[in-house]
Amino acid sequence: MTGRANPFWLLAPALLVLGGLFLSALGLTLIRSFRYMPVIGLTEPDLAAYAAVLASPGFLASLGLSLWIAVASTGISAVLALGAALLLRQTFPGRRLIGFLVQMNLTVPHVVGAVGMAYLVSQSGVFARLAHAAGVIDAPGQFPALTQDPFAIGIILLYVWKEVPFITLILLANLQSIGADHEATARSLGASPWQAFRHVTLPMLRPGLLAASALVFAFAFGAYEIPLLLGASTPKALPVLAWQSYTNVDLAARPEAAAMAVIIALIGLATLLAYAHFAQPMADRGRDAR
């Protein structure tokens, strides 16, 4: 051996924290989800909690809502961010100001954004009152419900507002490292501007776009505070439902809460694996080549 320590030992403190806190919590949750709780006399592990959760219409409605929120916010954010990144790549007056605003948005906490969103678009909010004052609607209550609404429009709006800058910044960094010469080559080889984007720029941006979207999807699917603040009372987003069951005074509801948590974690893991499957080979292929 030379004087260099095995990286494993250098990583040990971080691994200890990660393993100690995260894995043990996950393990405990897993054990509970199998209905093993000696405190209340449950000593035979089984899958009854999963069966109950999966059979419950409330759970399925919440799962559907959470998937809808995650898919819609990710899809809309990705498309808007792609457009924003392509625009911000060009030089025009005011570009620095817009770039600054985009970055500043990242520093605003989600909760602060949620409060602002409620203030703006709820039925007692600024927009509703402005519409009423302008005579567009007869009463503020006629303003379309954008918060606590069944389609979670307020939640999706907030995620779009927060995540578009995030994806944009990742794409801008990607565009910068790719440079403009591949696109220029495509044009010179006879591609129209649209063809050059469709067949060269977009495929080269794909790894970055997928990575950023996977992060946004996993976050939007598993986040708790925004659905709590802006969501309707039924159905609740899955993390809200899980936390509510977990804090239920009836300890017998705990295994079901744990089962929900495990399902949320599994869906997050599936997203990650899907991303690794689709994006990694692309990134490897793209690495040299320039």
Partner 1 sequence: MTLEVRGLTKTHPGGTLATIRNLDLTVDSGRITALLGPSGAGKTTVMKLIAGLLAPDAGQVTLAGRSILHLPPEQRGVVMVFQNPLLFPHLTVAENVGFGLRMRGLPTTEIRARVTEMLERTQLTGLGSRRPAELSGGQAQRVALARALVLKPDLLLLDEPLSSLDPTLRDDMRALILTLQRETAVTTLVVTHDQTEAVVLADRIALLLEGCLAQHGPPDQIYRQPASLAVARFFGGANFLPGRATAGVFQSAIGPIPLPAGLPGALTDGPGVLTIRPEAIDLVAPAHPGALTARIVASTFLGTQSRVELDLGGTQLQALVSPDFAQGLTKGQALGVVLPPSALWVVPDPA
Count Cβ atoms below 10 Å from residue 260 Cβ, excluding itself. Answer: 28
**Rounded-to-integer distance, Cα 65 and Cα 53, Å:** 15
Q: Which of 98, 290 has the CB closer to partner 1? A: 290
**Rounded-to-integer distance, Cα 179 and Cα 290, Å:** 10
**Least CB distance to partner 1 at residue 241 (A):** 41
**Least CB distance to partner 1 at residue 89 (A):** 15
**Least CB distance to partner 1 at residue 129 (A):** 47
Helices (H) and strands (E) in the chain, counts: 14, 0
Q: Which of 89, 129 has the CB closer to partner 1? A: 89
Phi/psi for 42 (5° steps) reads -95, 110
Q: Which of 268, 286 has the CB closer to partner 1? A: 286
Q: Which of 183, 256 has the CB closer to partner 1? A: 183
Q: How far does CA 161 lie from the centroid of its chain?
A: 12
* Among 174, 57, 261, CA closest to 182: 174
**Least CB distance to partner 1 at residue 195 (A):** 5
**Least CB distance to partner 1 at residue 197 (A):** 12
| Contact between residue 271 and residue 263 where contact means Cβ atoms under 8 Å apart | no
**Least CB distance to partner 1 at residue 189 (A):** 4
Q: Which of 46, 285 has the CB closer to partner 1? A: 285
Tokens 């897993």 — which residue?
Answer: 30
Binding-site ranges for partner 1 (CB under 8 A): 181-182, 184-193, 195, 199-200, 203-204, 206, 282, 284-290
Q: Which of 2, 91 has the CB closer to partner 1? A: 91
Beta bridge partners of 37: 42
Evaluated on CA atoms 167, 172, 174, 175, the torsion sign reads positive
Q: Which of 150, 281 has the CB closer to partner 1? A: 281
* Among 277, 152, 272, CA closest to 213: 272
SS3 46: coil
**Least CB distance to partner 1 at residue 200 (A):** 6
Angle (CA) 33-64-34 rounded to 5° is 5
Tokens at 156, concatenated = 């999706």
Q: How far does CA 135 lie from the centroid of its chain?
A: 38
**Least CB distance to partner 1 at residue 45 (A):** 48
Q: Which of 116, 286 has the CB closer to partner 1? A: 286
Tokens at 259, concatenated = 């089962």
Q: What is the dihedral of CA 87, 91, 97, 99, to 10 degrees?
A: 50
